[in-house]
Structure 1
C-alpha cells in the first residue's frame, strides 16, 4: 500500500510546579508540611562548597523562589536548610529540617551542573511537601530548524535548550517518557511519517512503527513500557497500543472517524483522545484494553489535544474561542470545564497545577490555578510540547 505523507497532528499538553500555599508544621519527624493558605515555607540555601558551588546554589535558590509557597528566609525554629558541595563533577546535596534532623543526603550527577541543581531542588520540594515540583523535570517540543522542524529538549524553566534531532526534514509530535530517558516522535526523513524512539542517555534511536500510511502521535504509558499512537494502515486513522520498543500493535478503536492525540490516565487503565465524531472534534475516553468509548461533554464544540493530569483529576485540552485557541481544564469528578488561558497543545507538568503550551510560536508555562503565564523559550516556532511527570 502506498504511504502518502499525511500528517495528523498529535494534540497534547503540560504543567508546572508544586503546591499551593503551605503551613510549616511538624507533628513528628517524618511529617510533611500541611497545606494552608496563610503561611509559607522558609528555606535557607547555604553557600555551596567546591568549584562552581555558588552557581549551583543560585540555581536552587531560583527554583525554590519560583515555587508557590516557598520563601527564601531564615527564621528561627521554622527554617529548612539546603546544603551542598560540588566535587568531581557532581553535586552532593542535603536537606535539614527545622528540628536539625537530616532528611536526606544525595549525590547528583548530570550532563550539566545546572541540571544536577534542578534535581536537588525537586527532591527538596518533594521531601517537604510530598508533591512533585517542577525543578528537575524536562520538556521536549518540535521547533524550527533551517527549512524543517527538529526535536528540542530543555529544563522546566527553558534553560539548557538542546537540539536532539538533525533529520533535515520534519520531526514532530514528540513525547517524553515519564522518567525522562526516552523520546518518541514522528519523523519524515524517510519521506513517510514513522515513529522513532530516541534513548537520551545513549543518543541511540530506533524506528518503532513504520506501517503503511501514517504513524504519529505517540504517547508513553505511565510505566513507559507501551505507546499509544495513531496509525492508518487499515485505511482509517485509528488508535493502537504497542510496545515502546516497537512490534505488533493492538487496535483500540474501530470507527469511520479520525482518532488521534492519545493521552494515558495515570493508572494506565484508560486513554483520552480526540475523535472527529459529530459536528466538531471531541474528547473521548476508552479503556486501554479497548471497548466502547465515552464522549466527554465539555460544553464546547471544538475540542483537541487532551492531556491527562498526573494526579488523575483533570484533563487539559484546547477549545476554539472568539479570540483564538484557548486552554480548558475538564474536572473528572464534577464534569465541569473552565478556561485557564490562551495557547495551544497544553501538557501537564508533574505538579498537576501547571501546563506547558505554545503561544505565538513561543513555549509558555501556565499556572492553571490563577492563569498566570510565563514565557520560557522564544523564537523557535514551538509546537506540541511534552513534559516529564517525575
Structure 2
C-alpha cells in the first residue's frame, strides 16, 4: 500500500517542489569528454561596442559542453585578420575562432565569425548575422552551435531554451531561459503549484499542469501571445502532458474513471481517446520520436515499471526489468535510448537504457533525481536533483563523463524540460 501511494505521489504530482528565490541560474562544470579538441578563440574585434561580449559567451558554451579545451589567444582578431597557421599549430590549437562586432546605424549589431582549421590551413566555416542588442546572446550561441557541429559532427544545442518551475514565498513561476540559464523570462505566475512543463515540437508553446483551480488541470500556453487553453479538466486528476512529434496531440494521464489511465487528446482539447483500461496506475506517457509508440509508467507488475504500447493502444510490453521501481520515461531524439529514474538501495538516480542491446548506465551520483529531459541533439540529459537539501538542475552527457549543475543563489528549482531546436 505504501509503495502504491509513493508511486502515485511521484508519478502524478511530481516530487516535492520546495521554496526558492527567483534568480539567474549559475552553471558549475565537472568532468570532461573522453577527447577534448583544443580550440583557440580570439577576442572579437570591436565587441566593446556591444552590450555583451560574444567571445565570453562562445567560450562558456564550448567549455560547458566538456568536449573542447579552450586556448586563450590573448589578442583580438577579426575575420579578415591574416592568420599564421604554423604559429597556431605550434600553440596546440587544432581550430581557431575569429570574428567582429559592428554597431549599425539602426542600433542593431552585425556579428561576423570564421572558424579555421589550423592543421589543414583552411577555412572550416563562417557566417554573418545581424542581431538586436537583446538578441546578442542568441547570436553568440549560434556561433558556438556552428563550432560544435563542424568539429564534432553533431548539431549544437546552445541556442535552445529550457523551462523549469520555481517558487518564491507563495508564488510559483514557470520560467523560460536560455540553455545556459541566462535570459530568464516568466511565462506564468500562480499561487498554486505548477508541474510537468513540456515543450511543443516547434518551441512556441508549453503544456503544463496547474493547480490554480485547486485540482490538477492541463493547459497549453502560447509563449509569444501568452494566451492559453485548457486541454484537460476532467473529474479527478489531469496530469503528465507530453507532445506528439507533429505537435497535433498530447498524451496525458487522467483519473476521470477512477484509476489513472493513459489518454491522447488533440492539442486544442478535443478528440479525447483512452488508450489503457486497467485497474493499475498508468501514467507519465511519452510519445516515441517516430510517433508510433507510447512509453508509460505502470504498476501492473506490482511496482512501477516502464512499458511500451502502440500509439493506438492495445498490448503493452515491459521495457525495464532491473530494479523494482522505475519511473519517468524519456526518449532520446533518435529513439534509441531511454532515460528514466530508478530507485535502488533507497536512492532515486538517473539511468540510461540502450533499447536495442538492453545495456544500462547509471548517469548520476545524487540520490533524489527526477524529471529527466534530453537535449534536442540527444547528447545531454537535464534533470532535477537535490544538493544540501536544495533543489538544483543538473546536466549530464549521455556517456556520463560531462556533468554540470545549475543552481540559484538561494532556494530550489524543479521540473526542467529542454526545448527543441528553434527554426
Does TM, normalized by the shorter one, top 0.5? yes
Larger radius of gyration: 2
CA–CA distance in structure 2, aligned partners of residues 231 and 196 of structure 1: 14
Which residue matches 1:9? 13
Contact 1:40 1:69 in 2 (8 A): yes
Residue 101 of structure 1: how far off its partner (Å): 5.9
Cα deviation, 1:64-88, whole Å, max 9, x if unaligned, reads: 2222332334735942535343543
Contact 1:93 1:108 in 2 (8 A): no
Number of residue equivalences: 363
CA–CA distance in structure 2, aligned partners of residues 303 and 329 of structure 1: 11
Contact 1:9 1:261 in 2 (8 A): no
Which residue matches 1:61? 59
Which residue matches 2:101? 85
Q: Is 1:363 the counterpart of 2:393 in the alignment?
A: yes
CA–CA distance in structure 1, aligned partners of residues 260 and 328 of structure 2: 16
Which residue matches 1:374? 404
Residue 10 of structure 1: how far off its partner (Å): 5.6
Quick check: 287-296 or 242-251, which moved more? 242-251
The unaligned stretches of length 5 or more in structure 1 are 1-5, 12-16, 22-36
Residue 193 of structure 1: how far off its partner (Å): 1.7
Contact 2:332 2:378 in 1 (8 A): yes
Which residue matches 2:419? 388
Q: Is 1:348 the counterpart of 2:367 in the alignment?
A: no
The unaligned stretches of length 5 or more in structure 2 are 1-8, 16-28, 74-87
Contact 2:124 2:150 in 1 (8 A): no
User: Which one has a larger percent helix, Structure 1 or Structure 2?
Assistant: 2
CA–CA distance in structure 1, aligned partners of residues 133 and 308 of structure 2: 38
Quick check: 305-314 or 176-185, which moved more? 176-185
Alignment of 1:198-237 (within 5 A): 198-237=221-260
Cα deviation, 1:275-300, whole Å, max 9, x if unaligned, reads: 11122100011122222111113311
TM-score, with normalisation over the residues of structure 2? Answer: 0.77
Quick check: 76-85 or 182-191, which moved more? 76-85
Quick check: 89-98 or 233-242, which moved more? 89-98
Residue 59 of structure 1: how far off its partner (Å): 0.8
Report the CA distance shift for 1:127/1:234 in structure 2 as closer, same or farther (over 3 A). Answer: farther
Quote the RMSD (CA, aligned, Å).
Answer: 2.8
CA–CA distance in structure 1, aligned partners of residues 395 and 207 of structure 2: 22
Q: Partner of 1:136: helix, strand, or coil?
A: coil
Alignment of 1:230-309 (within 5 A): 230-309=253-332
TM-score, with normalisation over the residues of structure 1? Answer: 0.83
Residue 221 of structure 1: how far off its partner (Å): 2.0
Contact 2:125 2:150 in 1 (8 A): no
Report the CA distance shift for 1:295/1:101 in structure 2 as closer, same or farther (over 3 A). Answer: closer
Contact 2:307 2:320 in 1 (8 A): no
Report the CA distance shift for 1:281/1:223 in structure 2 as closer, same or farther (over 3 A). Answer: same
CA–CA distance in structure 1, aligned partners of residues 133 and 260 of structure 2: 40
Q: Partner of 1:291: helix, strand, or coil?
A: strand
Contact 2:45 2:99 in 1 (8 A): yes
CA–CA distance in structure 1, aligned partners of residues 137 and 154 of structure 2: 22
Alignment of 1:90-169 (within 5 A): 90=109, 92-98=111-117, 99-100=122-123, 102-108=125-131, 112-169=135-192
Residue 367 of structure 1: how far off its partner (Å): 2.8
CA–CA distance in structure 1, aligned partners of residues 331 and 272 of structure 2: 22
Quick check: 120-129 or 240-249, which moved more? 120-129
Residue 387 of structure 1: how far off its partner (Å): 0.8
